[in-house]
Amino acid sequence: MTRDWAGDGGGHEVIAPVDCAGLVQAVGALPLHAVPGESEAPGGHGFFGAAFLLVGSLLVVETLAGQVWHRNRLRTMLWPAALIASGLGMLIVTYLQPTEKPLHLMLAFLLLAGGFVEARSRLAQISRTTADAIAVPVLVLSGLVIGPIHASGPVMSSVVAQTHLLVGVMAFALAGVRLTQLRYSSSATLDASFGAGVMLLGLSLLLVQQFHHLR
């Protein structure tokens, strides 16, 4: 934004100060992008789906690489950092999305809590057993929130409800892997299974994005 220095159109132009608070409010008030016939935006399912698909593949690579992967602190902290970033992203969705704010806010806190626990585990501040014991109820609650609770109407009433249910099922499956790790201790097979499950979670979120316009 520019403003004429002399005020008569003949002077020099300078950059006018930007009201950051007003800009943020204006962005929040913008109408959400939606396809014709759709009442609300899908809430960034595609973004989160792509992120989990990428991070899940990195978890599989981490398992295959073994201890070599953990020689670098940045690589070690990729998984908890991704969870924390997803939680912050969900907070943004909570602010911008006009509906289902309590559910999005709960998901944001669950993602942040999961990232915090995973970070402490990878920094050897808590044991893997303790981290898994916390991760299981977090994943189960997340599956309930994003699955049957988040789906609008009866679970089997539409393709969108069914894809949301699929996301919840994937979260339950991840909780099952963590519970198995908690019971029988971790192994390369279970670690790789968890990474593959995160990838499938990402794919299910991409399906939600794909079919959201059918709701």
Lowest mean pLDDT among 101-105, 181-185, 211-215: 211-215
Residue 37 belongs to a domain: no
| Model pLDDT, residue 184 | 85
| Kind plus residue range of the DSSP H or E element containing 2 | strand 2-4
Residue 26 belongs to a domain: no
This prediction has a pTM of: 0.72
Q: Are 202 and 51 in contact (CB under 8 A)?
A: yes
| Model pLDDT, residue 152 | 56
Identify which has the larger pLDDT, 9 or 88.
Answer: 88
Domain containing 101: what range? 44-214
| Model pLDDT, residue 155 | 53
Average pLDDT estimate for 115-129:
92
Average pLDDT estimate for 75-100:
90
Residue 90 belongs to a domain: yes
Identify which has the larger pLDDT, 10 or 144.
Answer: 144
Instruction: Give the tens place of pLDDT for each residue, 36-47.
Output: 444 444 457 788
Mean pLDDT of the chain: 78
Provide the token pair at 193.
């299974």
Instruction: Give the tens place of pLDDT for each residue, 21-32.
Output: 554 454 344 444
Environment class of residue 199 by beta-carbon count within 10 Å: exposed (0-12), middle (13-18) or buried (19+)?
buried
Rounded to 10 deg, the angle between the 188-211 and 45-65 helix axes is: 160
Q: 166 pLDDT exceeds 50?
A: yes
Residue 25 belongs to a domain: no
Q: Are 178 and 194 in contact (CB under 8 A)?
A: yes
Residue 192 belongs to a domain: yes
Residue 205 belongs to a domain: yes
How far CA 181 is from CA of 49, 139, 184, 196, in Å, comes to: 25, 14, 5, 15
Residue 35 belongs to a domain: no
| Model pLDDT, residue 181 | 86
Residue 3 belongs to a domain: no
| Model pLDDT, residue 76 | 93
Q: Report the domain count for the chain.
A: 1
